[in-house]
């Protein structure tokens, strides 16, 4: 497996944990980290069925993007920086496997946007979320205006982005920004347990379910239902469908082959 300067990769069976590790900057995202993430996502082991993303240390998931790198940029350079970060996060959102964010601390700016790009967000009760960019003279640049509105609603997104207010984990749970909140020492165990439960299911079916949820969100009801029906039908062309249903009927454990 590739060695990275700012990423720690820990794979166990079908679950992989990607830890962003730049503790001196509270794991703030710079071009180097984004390039490493892009490379990892493009070359991930095909045996991985669930990815967990977290931050190194107890204080921060990702404290934002690297302000020292952004400060001197002109308009064209700023657009390029934002577009590349957005591309990496879109790759996470459309990855063929589920991605769980284990938010262990500050998830501000780019860190909040990274969590938003993941399929499921679990948080420590020490976590804080926010989009403070307007206080720096910019707006969220890694698709935060888009995803926060979709996940938490337009009114909440406008309030948090316009004000730059950071919220604690309990409020993030209340507005639907995170799925669950845990004590700090329980967070990774909970993320791994969820990942392992997902990994036991038919990988193709999980992938098709992710595609359906992502693709159908903005479709009219009839189109969304038709899309789901087609994807449902495609499941019956897989070996895993035969394995899963046979295991159910024979009361044995299904061992899916991803075929």
Token pair, residue 124, equals 């420590």
* Run of H or E including 168: strand 167-168
Residues recognised as catalytic: 113, 133
Domain ranges for the chain, please list them.
7-199, 203-250
CA 202 to chain centre: 20
Residue 58 sits at φ, ψ, to 5 deg, of -95, -15
Please, what is the average pLDDT of the chain?
97
Q: What is the pLDDT of residues 103-122, one digit of tens each?
A: 999 999 999 999 999 999 99
Q: Selecting from 3.10.300.10, 1.10.12.10, 1.10.10.10, 1.10.1060.10, what CATH number does the domain 203-250 have?
A: 1.10.12.10
**CATH classification of 7-199 is 3.90.226.10, yes or no?**
yes
Q: What is the pLDDT of residues 127-168, one digit of tens each?
A: 999 999 999 999 999 999 999 999 999 999 999 999 999 999
Q: What is the pLDDT of residues 191-224, one digit of tens each?
A: 999 999 999 999 999 999 999 999 999 899 999 9
Q: Are 186 and 194 within 8 A, CB to CB? A: no
What pLDDT is recorded for position 58?
Answer: 87
Q: Are 139 and 85 within 8 A, CB to CB? A: no
| pLDDT category of residue 86 using cuts at 50, 70 and 90 | very high
Residue 172 sits at φ, ψ, to 5 deg, of -60, -40
Give the residue among 80, 102, 66, 83 at the shortest CA–CA distance from 191: 102
Token pair, residue 186, equals 């329980």
Ramachandran category for residue 127: left, alpha or beta (phi over 0 → left; psi -120 to 50 → alpha)? beta
DSSP class of 109: T
Q: What is the pLDDT of residues 3-45, one digit of tens each?
A: 899 999 999 999 999 999 999 999 999 999 999 999 999 999 9
């Amino acid at each position: 497996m590739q060695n990275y300067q700012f990423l720690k990769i820990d794979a166990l069976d079908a679950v992989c944990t990607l830890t962003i590790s730049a503790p001196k900057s509270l794991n703030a995202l710079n071009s180097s980290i984004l390039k490493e993430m892009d490379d990892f996502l493009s070359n991930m082991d095909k045996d991985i069925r669930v990815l967990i993303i977290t931050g190194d240390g107890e204080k921060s998931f990702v404290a934002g993007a690297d302000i020292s790198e952004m400060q001197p940029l002109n308009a064209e350079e700023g657009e390029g920086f934002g577009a590349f970060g957005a591309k990496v996060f879109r790759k996470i959102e459309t990855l063929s496997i589920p991605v769980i964010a284990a938010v262990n601390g500050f998830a501000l700016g780019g860190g909040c946007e990274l969590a938003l790009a993941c399929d499921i967000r679990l948080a420590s009760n020490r976590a804080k979320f926010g989009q403070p960019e307007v206080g720096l003279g910019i707006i969220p640049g890694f698709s935060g205006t888009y995803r926060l509105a979709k996940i938490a609603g337009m009114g909440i997104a406008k309030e948090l982005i316009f004000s730059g207010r950071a919220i604690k984990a309990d409020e993030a749970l209340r507005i639907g920004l995170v799925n669950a909140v845990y004590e700090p020492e329980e967070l990774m165990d909970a993320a791994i347990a969820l990942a392992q439960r997902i990994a036991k299911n038919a990988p193709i079916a999980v992938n098709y379910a992710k595609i359906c949820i992502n693709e159908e969100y903005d479709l009219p009801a009839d189109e969304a239902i038709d899309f789901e029906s087609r994807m449902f039908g495609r499941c019956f062309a897989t070996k895993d469908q035969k394995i899963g249903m046979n295991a159910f009927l024979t009361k044995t454990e299904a061992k899916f082959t991803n075929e």
